[in-house]
């Protein structure tokens, strides 16, 4: 069932706007990943260099997997085992999907699928980055977000107080070839939990919990 927040979020993205919202980890900014103008506005709000990549976020597993049909079977199984959750997965991107989010490294895609019930009905992917000045601390509450970002966003959604630990970044780019993976940034999900999920292939959420 779609909430009012999900409808407002999706409408703002469709209109080329930038949304400030509470994710599952820290506050973030989101925009249409295919709109050059929207991506430029988001990067300007953050003061983020244009050549730094960002993640693409989906709000349910089914549309994420449908969009990433290029995934090999081994990598797809890993994605299904790890997500949804507080992770950013770096995947091979031979088709150069969502190139505006990839920066100069168009053959690598960062993927996020959070557990976020308030926005579970959002049907479109977004380019997403934390709502902090580039290199600054990650905001746990809306009041922690730089005032310039709060004022510059087209829609602001208060998600309350969040855990405050950013997503764990996991490199799966060679996983299809040799099963190798590595943690590039420690974060909300510890390495031993990642190893357990990848070995067992069993995500703690049931399939029906992954789709709105």
Measure the CA–CA gap between 62 and 80, rounded to whole angstroms: 10
Hunting for tokens 């630990």 — which residue is that? 165
pLDDT of residue 208: 35
pLDDT, position 136 = 87
Pairing assessment for the beta strands 19-22 and 108-112 based on DSSP bridges: unpaired
Q: Tell me the pLDDT of the chain (212 aa) as tens digits.
A: 567 999 999 999 999 999 999 999 999 999 999 999 999 999 999 999 989 999 999 999 999 999 999 999 999 999 999 999 999 999 999 999 999 999 998 999 999 999 999 998 999 999 999 999 988 899 999 999 999 999 999 999 999 999 999 999 999 999 999 999 999 999 999 999 999 999 887 676 534 333 33
How many domains would you assign to the chain? 1
Structural domain span for residue 117: 4-210
**Separation between Cα atoms, residue 154 and residue 141, nearest integer Å:** 18
Is residue 90 a contact partner of residue 173, using CB atoms and an 8 Å limit?
yes
Q: What is the pLDDT of residue 3?
A: 78
Sheet architecture: strand order including 126-130: 155-156, 19-22, 27-31, 126-130, 55-57, 108-112, 87-92, 168-171, 182-185
What is the rounded radius of gyration, in angstroms, for the C-alpha atoms of the chain? 16
Q: What is the reported pLDDT for 211? A: 37
Q: Which long-range contacts (CB under 8 A, 24 or more apart) does 68-72 make?
A: 68/97, 68/109, 68/111, 70/94, 70/95, 70/97, 71/176, 72/176
pLDDT of residue 201: 72
User: Alpha-carbon distance 84 to 87, whole Å?
Assistant: 8
Which CATH number does the domain housing residue 141 bear? 3.90.870.10
Question: What pLDDT score was predicted for residue 205?
Answer: 55
pTM given for the model: 0.93
């Amino acid at each position: 069932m779609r909430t009012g927040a999900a409808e407002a979020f999706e409408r703002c993205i469709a209109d080329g706007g930038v949304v400030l919202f509470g994710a599952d980890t820290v506050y973030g900014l989101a925009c249409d990943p295919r709109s050059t103008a929207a991506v430029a506005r988001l990067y300007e709000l953050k003061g983020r260099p244009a050549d730094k990549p960002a993640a693409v976020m989906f709000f349910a597993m089914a549309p994420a997997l449908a969009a990433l049909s290029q995934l090999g079977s081994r990598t797809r199984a890993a994605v299904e085992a790890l997500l949804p959750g507080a992770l950013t997965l770096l995947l091979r991107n031979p088709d150069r999907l969502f190139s505006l989010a990839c920066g100069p490294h168009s053959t690598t895609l960062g993927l996020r699928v959070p557990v976020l019930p308030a926005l579970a009905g959002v049907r479109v992917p977004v380019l997403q980055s934390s709502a902090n000045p580039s290199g600054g601390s990650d905001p746990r509450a809306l009041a922690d977000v730089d005032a310039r970002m709060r004022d510059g966003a087209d829609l602001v959604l208060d998600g309350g107080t969040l855990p405050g630990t950013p997503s764990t970044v996991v490199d799966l780019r060679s996983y299809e070839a040799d099963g190798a993976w590595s943690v590039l940034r420690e974060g909300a999900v510890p390495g031993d939990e990642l190893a357990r999920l990848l070995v067992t292939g069993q995500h703690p959420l049931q399939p029906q919990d992954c789709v709105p």
